[in-house]
């Protein structure tokens, strides 16, 4: 078994209202040292060992998990499991 974490975020050019709202809220809570907060989501995919892990992850991301109009992604293999 493998565990892969896929990170998805808005592209640079896309306005993220949530990030902005959170940044404002955090600052006004008394954390002026905070400059910016960006929000993203991640998917922890547990899957059977495959030879073509990279392709599989790319395929899942591109087909379903990521909308390329708005988003971009990268991933990281988390840990080896039995």
Q: Which residues bind other proteins (CB under 8 A)?
A: 11-18, 21-22, 25, 28-29, 64-65, 67-70, 72
Tokens (6 digits) for 28: 């006004």
In whole angstroms, the minimum distance from the beta carbon of 69 to a second copy comes to 19
String marking each residue 25-54 x if it binds a second copy according to CB under 8 A: xx--x-x-xxxxxxxxxxxxxxxx-x----
In the bound state with other proteins, the residue whose beta carbon lies nearer, of 18 and 50, is 18
Is-contact 1 81, C-beta < 8 A?
Answer: yes
What Å distances lie between residue 10 and 48, 58, 61, 74, CA to CA?
29, 17, 14, 12
Q: Is residue 70 close enough to count as binding a second copy by CB under 8 A?
A: no
Specify the DSSP class assigned to residue 14.
S
């Amino acid at each position: 078994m493998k565990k892969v974490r896929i990170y998805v975020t808005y592209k640079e050019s896309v306005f993220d209202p949530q990030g902005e709202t959170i940044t404002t809220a955090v600052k006004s809570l008394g954390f002026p040292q905070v400059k910016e907060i960006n929000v993203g989501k991640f998917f922890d995919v547990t899957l059977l060992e495959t030879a073509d892990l990279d392709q599989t992850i790319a395929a899942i991301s591109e087909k379903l998990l990521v909308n390329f109009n708005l988003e971009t992604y990268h991933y990281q293999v988390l840990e080896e499991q039995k």
